[in-house]
Amino acid sequence: METGTFPTQGGRKPLGIIQAGLAKRKAAETRFKTYGIVAIAAGLVFLAILFISIVGNAYTAFQQTQVKLDLYLDPDVIDPEGTRDLDVLSGANYAAIVRSGLQDQFPDVESRRDRRALNALVGRGATYDLRATVMAVPDLVGETLTVWVPADDDVDMLLKGNIDREAAEEGRRLSDQQLAWIDQLESRGRLAKRFNADFFTKGDSREPESAGIRGAVVGSFYTMLVTLLLSFPLGVAAAVYLEEFAPQNRFTDIIEVNINNLAAVPSIVFGLLGLAVFINFFGLPRSVPLVGGLVLTLMTLPTIIIASRATLKAVPPSIREAALGVGASQLQTVVLHVLPLAMPGMLTGAIIGMARALGETAPLLMIGMVAFIVDIPQGILDPATALPVQIFLWADSPERAFVERTSAATLVLLFFLIVMNALAVVLRKRFERRW
C-alpha cells in the first residue's frame, strides 16, 4: 500500500461525506437527549403520583365526624350505691348512658331493631372516653354532659362521600332509616366533621373511628432511642478505630469488606438474626422496642461507620500532624482535634441512618412488633409497634375508613423523615468546611 493516501467512499472528500451524514446524526442526537428528558420526567411523575395519591387519601383523616350528645350521668346506672369507689366506676355500664343520650334525640324510635340501628351510628370509642372522664372526676356523676362523641366509621365515610347514597339499600352499609337520622342530626347541628384529635392521642383500635397513631409513634420513639444510643457511639468508635488506629493487615481488611457487604444485606435478614439470637437465644421478650432497637442498630451500624469514616478521611492530615508534633498521644490527637472537626459530618451520617431505620418495617415484623397493641408503651420493655408497622397493619384492614388513616399515618411518617433529612442538610450546610 502506498503510504499517505486514504481510501474514501467513491473518491469523495471526507468533508463532503461528513456534511451528508450530518442531518441523520443531528436527529440521533436529539432523540438521545429526549430519552434522557423522558427518563427524568418519568421519575418525577412517579414521585408526583406517589405523593398525590397519599396526600389525596390522607387529608380527610384529619377530620372525624362527631355527634353532639347530652349525656345524663345517671347515678342509678353508674354508681347505684353512691360509694364513688373506683372499681365500681370502672365497671359501670357507660354504653347504656351513651345509648340513652342518642335515643333522647329520637324519642319516637321504639323497636329493638330500630334502636340497634340507631345505636350503630355512634362509635364504640365514646363509651371508653366517657369512662375515662368519669374516673378522672367522679363528682360528675349526676350531672349532664354535652360532649362530641365520634360517630361510627360508616357515618364518617358517608359524610366524606365514600358511601353512595343512591346505591341500592341492600348493598349499602347504612339503611335508608339511618340516612334519615343522620340528616336530621346534621340539620340540628349535632352532627359535624371536626378536627380528629383522637388520631394523634390514641393507640390502635379495631374501630377506625377511635384508632390513633400515638402508640405507634411512641413505640417508634423508644425503638429509635435504643438504636441511636447504641449505634452512634459504636459506629463512631468503629470508624475511629478503622480510620485512625487500625494497622493495615488481613484482619482490618476483613472488617472492611464485611462492613461494606453488611450495608447491602437485605433488612429482613437482620430480622431473622434478631429472632434467632435476641429472642430465641437470649430469651428477650417479643414485640418490645429494646429488641427492635437492637436489630435496627445492627442494620444501621454499617451506614454510620461508612459515613463516619468518610468524614474522618476528610479531616486533613495537617491537623493530626500539628497535634502529634506538640507531643499529644494518638488518642489525644483524635479525641481533642480530629473528632470535634468530624463531629458534624458524623452526626449527619447518624441522622440519615436513623431516618432509614425509622422507615424500616421488615425486620420489625420478624421480631413480633406487628401485634395488635392498644396501650401506649411506657418503656423499652413494653410491647409496642412502630409507625411503619402500623401503616402495614392498617393497610391490611378491610374497612374503608382505614385507607385514609393509613395514608395519614404515612404522611406523619414522611413528615418525620423530611424533618430528619432537612436537619441533616442544615447541619451539613452549617458546618461544611472546605480544607
Partner 1 sequence: MYESEAKLAEPNATMRSGVGNVRATVPREHRQTVGNTRVDNPRIRCNKLNVYYGDTHAIHDINLDVGNNEILALIGPSGCGKTTFLRCMNRMNDTIPGCRVEGEIIVDKQNVNSPEVDVVPLRARMGMVFQKPNPFPKSIYENVAFGPRIHGLTANKAELDEVVETSLVKAGLWDEVKERLDQPGTGLSGGQQQRLCIARAIAVQPEVILMDEPCSALDPIATAVIENLMVELRQNFTICIVTHSMQQAARVSNRTAFFHLGDLIEVGETNELFIRPGHQLTEDYITGRFG
Partner 2 sequence: MLSLVLVLLLFSSIAYYVGRRRAFSAAGGQIRQLHSLPGYNGLYVALWCGLPALLVLLAWLSLEGAIIDNLVVAALPRDIIEQGAERVTLVLNEIQNVVSGTIYGEPDATVLAAAEHYRQLKSISHGALIGLTLVLPLAAGAYALRKINPRFEARNAVEGVITGLLLTSSTIAVLTTVGIVLSVLFESLRFFQSVPITEFLFGLEWSPQTAIREDQVGSSGAFGAVPLFAGTMLIALIAMLVAVPIGLMSAIYLSEYANVRFRAVAKPLLEILAGVPTVVYGFFAALTVAPFIRDAGGLLGLDVASESALAAGLVMGIMIIPFVSSLSDDVINAVPQAMRDGSYGIGATRSETIKRVIIPAALPGIVGGILLAVSRAIGETMIVVMAAGLAANLTANPLEAVTTVTVQIVTLLVGDQEFDSPKTLAAFALGLVLFVVTLFLNVIALYIVRKYREQYE
Contacts of residue 68, Cβ cutoff 8 Å, sequence gap at least 6: 146, 147, 148, 189, 190, 191, 192
Residues in 24-53 that interact with partner 1 by CB under 8 A: 25
Measured between alpha carbons, how far is 227 from 312 in angstroms, rounded to an integer? 22
Cα separation, 216 vs 197, in Å, equals: 15
Cross-strand partners of 194: 64
227 binds partner 2 (CB under 8 A): no
Query: Of 19 and 329, which has the nearer Cβ to partner 1?
Result: 19
Cell numbers standing for residue 163 = 358511601
Residue 60: phi and psi, rounded to 5, are -65, -20
- Residue 311 contact among partner 1, partner 2, none, beta carbon within 5 to 8 Å by kind: none
Binding residues for partner 2, how many (CB under 8 A)? 88
Task: Kindly tell me which of 211 and 391 has the beta carbon lying closer to partner 2.
Answer: 391
Q: Do the beta carbons of residue 305 and residue 258 sit within 8 Å?
A: no
Q: Which of residues 176-215 bind partner 2 (CB under 8 A)?
A: none
Among 10, 32, 76, 171, binds partner 2 (CB under 8 A): 32
Quick check: 226 and 348 in contact, CB under 8 A? no
Tell me whether residue 18 or residue 180 sits nearer to partner 2 (CB atom): 18
Instruction: Tell me the CA distances in angstroms from 202 to 65, 97, 139, 208, one per residue in order.
Output: 16, 22, 25, 11
Query: Does position 6 bind partner 1 by CB under 8 A?
Result: yes
Report, in Å, the least distance between residue 397 CB and partner 2.
12
Cell of 39: 427518563
3-state secondary structure of 316: coil
Q: Which stretch binds partner 1 (CB under 8 A): 11-19, 106-114, 264-272, 279-287?
A: 11-19
Q: How far apart are CA 147 and CA 101, in angstroms?
A: 10
Note whether 19 binds partner 1 by CB under 8 A. Answer: yes
Site string for partner 2, 368-407 (x = CB under 8 A): --x-----------------xx-xx--xx------x--xx
The residues in 40-99 that bind partner 2, with binding defined as CB under 8 A, are 40, 42-44, 46-47, 49-50, 53-54, 57
User: Which one, of 409, 55, 356, lies nearest residue 214 by Cα?
Assistant: 409
Q: Which does 246 bind (CB under 5 to 8 A by kind): partner 2, partner 1, none?
A: partner 2
Helix (H, G, I), strand (E, B) or coil at 421: helix
223 binds partner 2 (CB under 8 A): no
Binding track, positions 283-312, relative to partner 2; x by CB under 8 A: x--------------x--xx--x-------
Strand, coil or helix: what is 160?
coil
Strand partners, 193: 65
**Does residue number 11 form part of the binding site for partner 1 (CB under 8 A)?**
no
CA neighbours closer than 13 Å in the CB half-sphere of residue 287: 11
| 22 contacts partner 1 (rule: CB under 8 A) | yes
User: Candidates 147-155, 159-167, 328-336, 337-345 — which segment interacts with partner 2 by CB under 8 A?
Assistant: 328-336
Q: For partner 2, what does the binding mask look like between residues 253 and 282, x meaning CB under 8 A?
A: -xx-xxxxxx-xxxxxxx-xx-xxx--xxx
DSSP category for residue 282: S
- Decide whether 179 or 234 has the Cβ nearer to partner 2: 234
Residue 17 or 86: which CB sits closer to partner 1?
17
Least Å from the CB of residue 31 to partner 1: 16
Q: How far is CA 319 from the centre of its chain?
A: 42
Residues in the interface with partner 1 (CB under 8 A) total 17
Residue 94's binding partner, choosing from partner 2, partner 1, none, with beta-carbon cut-off 5 to 8 A by kind?
A: none
Q: Does 426 bind partner 2 (CB under 8 A)?
A: no
362 Cα distance to chain centroid: 13
CA dihedral sign, ordered 107, 113, 119, 120 = negative
Q: 63 forms bridges with which residues in the sheet?
A: 195
CB of 1 to partner 1, least distance (A): 7
In the complex, minimum distance from the CB of residue 318 to partner 2, in angstroms, rounded to a whole number: 22
Residues that bind partner 1 (CB under 8 A): 1, 3-10, 14-15, 17-19, 21-22, 25
